[in-house]
Every structure is written in structure tokens, then in C-alpha cells.
Structure 1
Amino acid sequence: MINNIESGPKAPKDPQKKRSGFYIMINKLIEATARFEGKPSQEVYLDEGRFAFDANFVGGVEDENILTALKSCEGVHKLVHSIGVCVKASKDVGNIDFVLHNYGKLDRYKSGTLIKIPCTKDGSEVIITLKDYEWSKDDDVVGKMAFEFEKPELTAEVTVKVYLNDGYEVPEISIDPPVEFGSDKYNSMIKKSLLNIGNNKRLKAAIDKAERGEDVTVAYIGGSITQGAGAKPTNTNCYAYRSYLKFKEMFGKGDGENVHFVKAGVGGTPSELGLIRYDREVLRDGRVTSDIVVVEFAVNDEGDETKGICYESLVLNILSAKNKPAVILLFSVFANDWNLQERLSPVGRLYNLPMVSISDAVVEQFKLTREEGNIITKRQFFYDIYHPTNDGHTIMTDSLAYLFEQTSKNACDEMDIELDIAPAIGNSFLDVHLIDKKDNSCGAVIEQGSFKETDKDLQFVEVDCESQGTPEFPYNWMHAPESGRESFRLKVKSRSLLLVFKDTASIDFGKADIYVDGTYILTADPQAVGWTHCNAVILYQEEISKEHNIEIKMSDDSFDKYFTILGFGYN
């Protein structure tokens, strides 16, 4: 059961005494995103330890007892007295509601408490006192906060502070001073991002082409950071769009209309899926020729089953195009200073590619005080555990622009990069292509069985400079409870085959068993990850191409559930 409380307590309260508390958001810019269901909103997830992380990361809380208490609703009610919400927005933004949603034990998204209260827009604090509300006994964890707007693309600035019950104390933090963009110290930090300037023949060719007024396309493929997560507005403040604008301003002819932009970032997905997406989402099925491709999977590829082979295969696939595009490897970083630069950079070293490391630029200075040389704090750089703020996206933009600038200054390398060499990690997934309801160029034989519906509740991403989301893998096959029990069958000749299926937290979705040539391979569980996104898994990988028969059928306990096959990748 959801408690959907549309307003705060009716009886006014006496002024609160000053309580100890900590921030989990400070002057954070938010943006309303259109939702498949419900009002446009900015969602802030607090499950999976993120509430505790934000308390430590934003609020400076180091007490382990307090951080542990934030990981369950039971602990939160012992610890938290109230939550203060401040919203600043222009009058024409319309109504904004603050939502606090606890996830349930029985049904993650439906059996926990949901509280909704209206916000003021003048920056005054609205206090939500926990004891004034009725809470479900099924509450498990604080799942998320959300700010609901009347229309998408509207923005506001918010601050959220958690106030503690008597007996709990945390130190007050000081607010960080503004970042001094363009200062000598800032520019020195940006220079550290240039991990490898690489062979410049291809990148200079693209620059020269742009300066001559010929059409040039700058493309980006990666995960949620490339999609624009953390940037507000997502479509125009993300590093991809802003670095494209930098290139256009630096080298475009006249007003730069000859320089074009392609963005294909998809949250939560590794290069294993990027291989399958590249033809459709970057090359647009042959309609686009990319001159520069920025590849950003340094914080997404932990989920790559091949531990780098898919990454190198994708990079080599791009480099092998007839028009000889330039490839730039971009290494972003998480708030815990982690990325996969050590694993993936040997690919760039082998082919002598330009490489830009955001980690090299910012991580060491994170450890310094402002007096010791800090330029930007983690609170300023990161919007959440994973994604940059507008300031963070600015640093990524300026780091790529520095590569562009240095490349344009240097003499052109005489020889092109060498591709016909032994791989750094592996290249066995070269030339992977997509099979779905729309594309089947290999002539695979498909019997859809009971997987005859089309799922429309998909992962949506902002493509290119669009602000509205576009569905991923819309030409899919979905099993529905009323569709029957027949298996989905695919007969295809290939060396490798990857299955892409939909992950979701919905309890209406069940598992499917996968067989290759009659042998059980795996059970695909769409609820294992817990949110709606695209999941790629390898069904087989062999040295030579031969015909295989694939069967996908609902598990014995899941015939009355849904399951969505988004597509396949083969080579």
C-alpha cells in the first residue's frame, strides 16, 4: 500500500529549535525530465547506500553509526527528526512538489510509503517532520526523492538538509567557494588531462576539413555521462554538446554550420552494448559518416564480460571505417576516484590514440585544501556518486578542447596509425551487427512464438541535442502472460552472439531460460539489476562462423510474467 499524502500537516507548529543536521543537496540545479508514467520530475536516488554516501560526500558526516542508520528505514526513523527542503525557481515555472518515496519489502516500488508536499519557490525552507506522517510497516529503505514539475525541461535550484533527533550531532560544513574557471591554476589542472596526444593525422585531417568548410561530424558514444547525466539542462550543458560547440567555434567555417553533432550515450551500459548500438545510433544505419568519435566507457565497463575485448573491438571497428575517423578515448571518473583507465588505456597506447583523462586532471587536487592548491572540490564536481555537475561537465569540455587546441598547433604526423597488429586485449567482437524486428541483414530465421508483443516501456535517452528521451531498442519482442507458452527461436550463422534484454524492477516481469543448440546456457533475470535499462549478455563466442539454433523460453515459474528481448548482436 502507498500512502500518497498530497499536503503537509494541517495544524501549524511552533518554531523548531536549531537542530544538528547535514546537507545531502546544496544549491543543486535540477531539471524536469518527462516520464513514461507520472509527472515530469528530477529524481534523486537514495537506495543502495546512496543516502549514506550523500551524507558523507555532501554533508561531511563521518560517524559510522549515523551512516549505517541511513541504510534502512528503521535506522532513519531512529536518527532523523525532519527534512528541510528549499527551492528557488522563477514564478513562471509553476508548481513544484517534493516527493519522498520509501521502497517496500514486498513490492519494491509499490508497497512503501510515498509522501508528496508542495514547495515554495522563493528559497524559504519547507520542513517535513517525520513523526507527523503515517509510515507503512513494509518500508525497507529510503528509495528516492523527486521534484515534480508541471512540464518537462523546467529547472530550479534546491537545497535539502536532514535534521537529527536529540542525542545525535554532526559537525557543520563550510560551503565551497566558486571555481575559478580560466585561472592559471585551473588551466594547469586541465593540461594534466592530456594523457596521450597520440598520432594526430586523423584528428588534424578532421580539423582541416572543418576549416575548409566541408561537412564534419563529431560523434560521442558512451554511458550515462555521455548521455548527459548530472548536467542541467541535460541536452545543452553536457560535456558532449559543449565540446562539440568548442570544436565548431575553433574550426568551423563561418558560423560553423558545416560541423555536425551525434550523441549516443546510454546510461548503465558498457562497450559490450556499444558494439551493438554503434551502427544504428552513431552511423544511423549508413546515413552518417563520423569524422571524430569520442569513446567514453571508463566507468561503465566493469559490466563488460570480456574485460576489455569488447572495448578494443569497438575502438578497432570505428578506426577501420573507410573514411579513417579519428578516435579519442575519454576516461571519466567516479566520486570514489575509480575508473578503468588502467585496463583500457593500453588500447590507446597500442594504436597511439589521443587520450583524455579526467581522473588525471582532478583526483589529486581533490585531496588538497584551497590553500594547498585545490581548484574544485568533489561536492562541486559530482552531482551524485557517478555523474558530474555542470562544473564537472565544464572540466570535461575544457579537457577535450585542450586536446583540440594542442593538436591544431602541432605539425601533422606523416604516417597513419597501424591497425593490422596484435591486439592489446582482444578484438574477437569486431564487426558486430544488430538483429531485431527492424534489422536482419544476415537473414536469420526467426520464430517469435509467444514473444509477439512490442514493449514500449523502455529505457529512454536524450539523443544528440534533443531534450526529450528516445526509446532504446524499440523494435523488440515481448512475451506477455496472455501470449501463450511457445518459445522464441532464432537460427543464425555467426561466430558470436549477444542477447540484449530489458532489465526492470517491475514484479510483473519474469525470467527466461536460454538454450543454444539444445544446451542450456543461462537464465536471464530482468530484475537482477533493478531498474529499466538494456542488458547485453554473451551467448557464445567461437573462432569460426557456423549455424546455431537459439531457443528462449519463459522459466517454469514465469509463464504468467512479461519478458522483453530487445535484440541480438552477431558477427
Structure 2
Amino acid sequence: MSGPVAPKDPEKDRSYFYIMKEKETFGSLQTQGEYQGRGVQFIYESDGRLESSAEVTGEVCDEEILKKLGTVEGFKSLVHSIGISVEMEHSREPVTFVFQMYGKEDLYGGGTLIETELRGDGAEVRITLDTVKWKTDDDVPGQIRFVFETPEQSARVNVRFFLKDGFFVPKPQEERVVDMESHGYQEMIERSLLSMGDAGRIRRVVEKARAGEPVTIAYIGGSITQGAGAVPLHTQCYAYRFWKAFAGKYGKNNNVKLIKAGVGGTPSELGMIRFERDVLRDGKEKPDLVVVEFAVNDEGDETKGRCYESLVTKILSMPDAPAVLLLFAVFANDWNLQERLAPVGERYQLPMVSIRDAVTPQFRQTKDRVVSKNQFFYDAFHPTNLGHKIMADCLMYLIDRAVCEPDILRRMHEKPVYGDEFAQVKLLDRRDGYERAKICCGAFSGTDQELQCVEMDDSLTPVPEFPYNWQYDGANGRSEDAFQMDIYCRSLLLIFKDSGAVDAGRADVFVDDTKVLTADPHVNGWTHCNPVILLEEKESGWHQVRIQMTPGEEEKKFTILGFGYVE
């Protein structure tokens, strides 16, 4: 064996911290765009995610360092170089690492791309930031991508930031392997049982499965239910793991079916509208158990609980009386909306599982800690494979306990906690009409195909949300021809598309000739479904809705994804 003729001098021993440490990644097949035919793992770092990764994975406590990670200028003043390593089965295959900065004016196209190619052999490659040609539009660190030549490969990656002179962080501590057979692990799982409620419906689902009858377990929620953080997403997410564990223990001859309908970044305000299409599949499916997971998504719910309660009562009131299980996930900062949402579960005596109650108390322990935050969280918001496994174990613990619990008298006729005015909400779009809605789409005559897509059930194939939409496209010519609708209803919600694209424009929304909203896709700034309440009355009546591009935005685009209405 021979070495290099003139080996480089060793790198200076710099202080560093990890933002990814032994993280599982999976290159999902890209069917269009720049990476078509290849596999890509996207890791988003904007909106505080990079700072959270430094805290959780890198154990960084220095507020000055964390603050600098929030902007490109701060990042450049702090970081000397980036170390990246990738380890996978095909160790000689090239992998491209991309760290994209987001732009001020052009969010996705105006920022610097820091790129390098490396092999999947575990050897670290360093990028020195002095060699990077920075762009003037740079604003904030945006996203990291690992691009694989062969799609659907798993890899374990590390990314660490080496700091410039004058900055120092303590060296990271070694983590212990999580012992899932330990007493501490079992205690952690048991803490997740927030309330058993009336276990009767759960027990009947188990009895049905044991008898060999068809059973369907369904989930509705946000990105955690979609599977974010799990690698690969479709078989390592908590929904799949719980379904598989339930079917293995209580099912017979593959009689248990999975329906997974998580949509990232969306609250129960959207969930209650899409429930019939995404979960019931337009009446084709009749779930026996529905897991509802919105505890980290409902901060943006305009009604502060009424939409969530409406969704819960919608499910409970179905003719087949499915069991409903409320699941409260948690963010890396120990936050969720459990205090707001748990009273709904108490009111309807529903089983409730709190991941926050299970894991957060032991995070603060050093001697008897079962799992660290870095081991549980993939990023600021989503669990790792291990985190998803813990969530599934918590759900199974409740099911196993419910089998032995007696029925209690259900109180369905008492007053709601917050209100259930939206329990009968229905979706209105190009496909699903309403006989008391008269629509003239005007210049909103196109159909947008660049939509938020999610992986449903146990599939990796992305499915577009709200494909039967109305799009205004100013590239086809400026127009002031508005979308107009006369509708008989009591309540009305608009669902519009958020976007970070520079050609996304704002639209003004009028109800009965009164402007109620300027819908701005750039507020959230990514391809995303955004529900907003336009009208809420005590009595039903005829109303006129008009949507037109905001003056000066006529050359841009805007998409009406659909409406939710209560007759």
C-alpha cells in the first residue's frame, strides 16, 4: 500500500459542533426537475431549524453562536469550514452535498449554493468557506440536500461546523445505546398514557381484529404523521410501525389495513376539510380506529380549538362509530398544545397519548436518561427512526391496556369545550361541487400542478393535495377578471396555495363586497395548503365571494385550492 507523495499538512485543531450526527437519510426518487431520476434527501434549516439542530445535536448553549446561525452574514462570521461524511452500502458511489442559502428577493433562486461531491465510504470531506463565492441576495441558511445517483438508498450522515478563531464550544459527549428492554424505557412508555378515557371502542376494534374481521386503522395529522424524520419514511414512521405492531399482535391473515393521511405544516383547520377525501377516500373506506395528531400543528388554528373539536366530533359521529385516539407529539423545545387540546379528549372521554409526557422529563436527566434529544429528534420538529419507534410503542401500550379496561358512560350530549360548528364542513373544488354554489372562475381558469405532495398510507409515491383547483396565471396575460361565487352557507373557508416562488402573487378576497383578506402566498413561503376563515354566521344565507389579484400583482400567479363550507 502506498500513500500520497506529498501529504497535506494536518488541519488546525478547531472547535466544532455537529448539526447532524449519525443521521439516517434516504434518497427519495425525484420524478421531475433538476434531480429527475436521482434520489434526494432534503433537510430544511430555515425558520430556526439550524439553531435548534446546533442546540439538540451539537449541545451548543452559547446564545451568541446560536444567533449567528440565523443569518448568512452571521454564519459566515462564525463558521470556518464544514465537515461532511456519508456512509452507505455502495461506498464508491458519489454523493453530492448541497447547502443552499435562501435569498432576500428570490427565496429559492437568489442564494449561494455550497456544494461538494464525496463518496459513501465514511471519509470526511471539508469545505472551507473562504473558497465559496457568496451572492449578494443571501439572507438565511435554507436547506441541505444529499443527492444520490441511485435513488431509494439509505445512508448515515454527519455534518459538523468547524469554528473560526475566537469561538469555542465544548466537545460533544458520547451517547449510550438506548436499551428498549430496560426498566427506564418501560417507565418512559407508561408515562405517555395521559388518559384511558372510555376504552370500549378501542376494545371492540381489538376484538374485531382477533376475530379475523377486516379492520382499518387511519391517521390524520401533520408532518409527523406523514412520516417526516423517518428513514425511509413509509416503513419507519410511527403510523406504519404502530399499524404493523397492532396487526402482528391482534390481527389475522392480513386483515388490518393502513390509511395514513398526514400533511406537513397543516392544522386541524385543514384536516377537518380534507378528512372525507384523504381518510374516507370519498366514502370508500370505513376506519375502525382514527388516530388524530395535531398537537404541534394547531398554533395557526384561527379558532383556537373549535376546528380540532369539530374534527373530533365529525369522526365520533360517523355511523360506524370508530374509535378515536388523540396523540400529542412534541417539538425539540418541549412544546406542544396539549393543554389546549386535552380538554377535548376529556370532554368526550377519549384515549390520549402524550409523547411530551413520556420523553421530556428524562431529557433533563444525566445519570438515568433513557434517550437523548439528539437520539429522539431528527430536527427541531420531527422524530428520528428511534423517535417514531417510541411513539408507536406508546400507542401500543395504550391498546394493550385498553383490552382490560371496562366501558364507561360516554357523554356525547353535553356542551362542547370550544365548539363544534365546523363538524359538518365539506370540501368544494372543481371536482366536488355543491348545488347551492354558482361559480364563474373568470381568469382563474387554469389548474395548478405544482402542489404540496405527501406520501399516503405505506407508499413512497407523493400524492398531490387539492389537485382540482383554480389557478390565475398572469404569464398568460394580465386580467382583472375575478373569480366569483354565489354560495348558500353558514360558514366558509378558503384554501389557497402558499409559495416561495418569485412569481407568486397576492389576491384580494371580498365577501358581500367587503374586503376580508389579502391572501399572501409569501407569508409562509413554501408550497403549502393554507386554510383561512372567510365567513362564519349563526344562520345560513346567500353570500357572494369575489377573488381578484391585488392591484400591481396581475402578472403573477395565485391558486385557489378549494373551499370548505358548512351549509
Q: TM-score range by the shorter chain?
A: over 0.9
Q: 1:315 aligns with which of 299, 312, 316?
A: 312
Q: Is structure 2 residue 524 aligned with structure 1 residue 525?
A: no
Residues 93/208 of structure 1: CA separation in 2 closer, same or farther (3 Å cut): farther
Contact persistence 2:363–2:369 (CA under 8 A): yes
Q: Secondary structure at the match of 2:246?
A: helix
Q: Is structure 2 residue 432 aligned with structure 1 residue 467?
A: no
Residues 121/246 of structure 1: CA separation in 2 closer, same or farther (3 Å cut): same
Residues 308/442 of structure 1: CA separation in 2 closer, same or farther (3 Å cut): farther
- Residues 518-544 of structure 1 show CA distances to partners (whole Å, capped at 9, x for unaligned) of 111110001100111100000011111
What's the counterpart of residue 148 of structure 1? 147
Q: CA shift at 1:138, angstroms? A: 2.6
What's the counterpart of residue 64 of structure 1? 63
Q: 2:494 aligns with which of 474, 479, 499?
A: 499
Q: CA shift at 1:151, angstroms? A: 4.2
Q: Secondary structure at the match of 1:272?
A: helix
What's the counterpart of residue 230 of structure 1? 229
CA distance in 1, matches of 2:383, 2:70: 24
Gaps of 5+ in 2: 1-5
Q: CA shift at 1:12, angstroms? A: 8.8
Amino acid at match of 2:113: L
Residues 21/507 of structure 1: CA separation in 2 closer, same or farther (3 Å cut): same
What's the counterpart of residue 177 of structure 2? 178
Gaps of 5+ in 1: 1-10
Q: Secondary structure at the match of 2:295?
A: coil
Amino acid at match of 2:94: N
TM-score scaled by structure 2? Answer: 0.95
CA distance in 1, matches of 2:307, 2:28: 32
What's the counterpart of residue 366 of structure 1? 363
- Residues 541-569 of structure 1 show CA distances to partners (whole Å, capped at 9, x for unaligned) of 11111111111000001110000000000
Q: Is structure 2 residue 99 aligned with structure 1 residue 134?
A: no
Task: Give the superposed CA RMSD.
Answer: 1.5
Q: Secondary structure at the match of 1:501?
A: strand
CA distance in 2, matches of 1:74, 1:521: 38
Q: Secondary structure at the match of 2:431?
A: coil
CA distance in 2, matches of 1:14, 1:132: 18
Structure 2 matches for 1:430-441, cutoff 5 A? 430-441=423-434
Q: Is structure 2 residue 123 aligned with structure 1 residue 124?
A: yes
Contact persistence 1:153–1:467 (CA under 8 A): no
Q: Is structure 2 residue 267 aligned with structure 1 residue 262?
A: no
Q: 1:296 aligns with which of 293, 296, 312?
A: 293
Q: Is structure 2 residue 537 aligned with structure 1 residue 538?
A: no
What's the counterpart of residue 346 of structure 1? 343
Q: 1:385 aligns with which of 373, 380, 388?
A: 380
- Residues 80-121 of structure 1 show CA distances to partners (whole Å, capped at 9, x for unaligned) of 111000100111894310001112222121121113211111
CA distance in 2, matches of 1:94, 1:286: 46
Q: Is structure 2 residue 37 aligned with structure 1 residue 26?
A: no
Q: Is structure 2 residue 280 aligned with structure 1 residue 287?
A: no
State the identity as a percent: 50
What's the counterpart of residue 3 of structure 2? none
Q: 2:438 aligns with which of 430, 439, 445?
A: 445
What's the counterpart of residue 415 of structure 2? 422
Q: Secondary structure at the match of 1:122?
A: coil
Amino acid at match of 1:551: R
What's the counterpart of residue 38 of structure 1? 34
Contact persistence 2:198–2:408 (CA under 8 A): no
CA distance in 2, matches of 1:474, 1:18: 53
Q: Is structure 2 residue 238 aligned with structure 1 residue 243?
A: no
Q: CA shift at 1:207, angstroms? A: 1.1
TM-score scaled by structure 1? Answer: 0.95
What's the counterpart of residue 549 of structure 2? 554
CA distance in 1, matches of 2:52, 2:487: 46
Q: Secondary structure at the match of 1:318?
A: helix
Amino acid at match of 1:177: R
CA distance in 1, matches of 2:504, 2:7: 45
Contact persistence 2:91–2:120 (CA under 8 A): no
Amino acid at match of 2:437: A
CA distance in 2, matches of 1:457, 1:125: 36
- Residues 452-491 of structure 1 show CA distances to partners (whole Å, capped at 9, x for unaligned) of 1111111010000011211010111100012532100111
Q: Secondary structure at the match of 2:94?
A: coil
CA distance in 2, matches of 1:52, 1:312: 34
Q: Secondary structure at the match of 1:123?
A: coil
Contact persistence 1:97–1:117 (CA under 8 A): yes
